[in-house]
Amino acid sequence: MDRLNNETQAAIAGREQAGGSLAPPLWATTAFSSTDPAEAACSAGSTRPSRFYTRYGNPTINAFEEAVAALEGAEAALAFGSGMGAVASTVMALCSQGDHIVAQRQLYGGTLFFLQTVCPRFGIDVTLVDATEPGAFREAVRPGRTMLVLAETPSNPRLALADLEELGSLRGPFTVVDSTFATPMIQRPLEFGVSLVLHSATKAIAGHNDATLGVIAGESDLIDAVWAYSTLHGSVASPFDSWNALRGIRTLGVRVERSSRTALALARFLEAHPAVASVSYPGLDSHPQRGLAARQMSAGGGMLSFELRDADRAHGVLEALQLVRVATSLGGPDTLMCHPASTTHAGLAADLQQSIGVTAGLLRVSVGLEHLDDLVLDLQTALA
Ligand SMILES: *Cc1c(COP(=O)(O)O)cnc(C)c1O
């Protein structure tokens, strides 16, 4: 068959090794016995063996990886114990002392912290650019020295976009796009020519707040190279979490469709609210990169953020919520809100916080699967 649509892939991908079982088997094991010593030696020397030792591979983890590869249109995928495990392993697998990284300023707090504190200790130089400035990534690349260009779109927490076409056209460095906020249902960065797409699968891909996972997808050779390093880094995905995530993927299409629709309606409601100064959501006409959003995203996604006119009320609004829960994760069935300046991005210097729009009055929303009317009522009451 021709390439199936992603809604279909989500429902069926990753079941090749399931032996006819409709649900994937859970291989809760650390190791596999070999029939003879020669087979063990062969497994020990092979790339990505699935039945040798779980830090090297495991059939349940592999099934999750196959599903993500299918959704991203990739040759292969590799899972990690967390999104940060994917970030750290990928950076350390590809970069060495003396190398240079170009990354955008608008990044997940942990990724930014890793680039600013860990990379310098290993002699890896990092230049931060503004992803919303056309040509910014290209201009910062130092030919022969830049090994990696790292982008995140839409970005956490202001939903700034990086131009996937520009990133895909860069030659020389590896290009990695953290696509966590979009999920493969909304954008597929590999189609634009980037080297690797990365997700915190902890979020919408697993989608039920019950799995901590990271994943990258791309060409097999590159995935194998990162795998070789990752077996030593040790950020291995748990089979149980991979199993939960594969179940989550089955409904990714309907969940993303629903949360995008609700998020757009909530964004419009907030934009019209007198207590709200501005709303950041790629599906709104007021988004400063609306044209780019339309070119590379098929929907706005389930994440939005908004700024209160009175910044002093940010914690008060969170305290007044009754249905929406205050938590820093995202992409699950329940709507969550958080105050990035004092949580997800609290570790950053004040000037960097300001330059990426993490202001005292900013609140981030991960829109879940509740009925829109219930969410509007809760927000209306809390804002009042
Ligand atoms: C959460 C998140 C990460 C880190 O993932 P963990 O699974 O928490 O380690 C990386 N990037 C983005 C965009 C995230 O939202």
The domains found in the chain, sorted by start residue, are 4-246 (3.40.640.10), 251-381 (3.90.1150.10)
Q: Among this protein's residues, is 373 annotated catalytic? A: no
Distance in Å, CA 181 to ligand 1 centroid = 9
* Burial degree of 357 (CB within 10 A; 0-12, 13-18, 19+): buried
pLDDT score for 2:
64
Among 80, 203, 210, residue to substitute to test ligand 1 (most atoms within 8 Å of Cβ): 203
How many of the other CB atoms lie within 10 Å of CB of 5?
9
What is the chain's alpha carbon radius of gyration, rounded to the nearest angstrom? Answer: 21
pTM of the model: 0.97
Low-confidence ranges of the chain (pLDDT < 50): none
d(CA 135, CA 141): 10
Q: Among this protein's residues, is 203 annotated catalytic? A: yes
Instruction: Count the residues in the chain.
Output: 384
**Which amino acids bring their CB within 6 angstroms of ligand 1?**
82-84, 108, 110-111, 152, 156, 178, 180-181, 200, 202-203, 212, 214
pLDDT score for 10:
97
Cβ–Cβ < 8 Å for 99, 92: no
Can you list the pairs that 260-265 forms with residues at least 24 positions away whose Cβ atoms lie under 8 Å?
260/186, 260/299, 260/300, 260/301, 260/302, 262/302, 262/367, 262/368, 262/369, 262/370, 262/372, 262/375, 263/300, 263/301, 263/302, 263/303, 263/304, 263/365, 263/367, 264/300, 265/372, 265/376
d(CA 253, CA 8): 8
d(CA 144, CA 76): 27
Distance in Å, CA 107 to ligand 1 centroid = 10
Q: Among this protein's residues, is 36 annotated catalytic? A: no
For residue range 165-224, what is the model confidence (pLDDT) as tens digits?
A: 999 999 999 999 999 999 999 999 999 999 999 999 999 999 999 999 999 999 999 999
**What is the token pair recorded at 353?**
């916080």
Start-to-end CA distance of the chain, whole Å, equals: 54
pLDDT score for 163:
98
**What is the token pair recorded at 271?**
């934009």
CA 18 centroid distance within chain: 27
pLDDT score for 18:
85
Q: Among this protein's residues, is 178 annotated catalytic? A: yes
Among 89, 112, 156, residue to substitute to test ligand 1 (most atoms within 8 Å of Cβ): 156
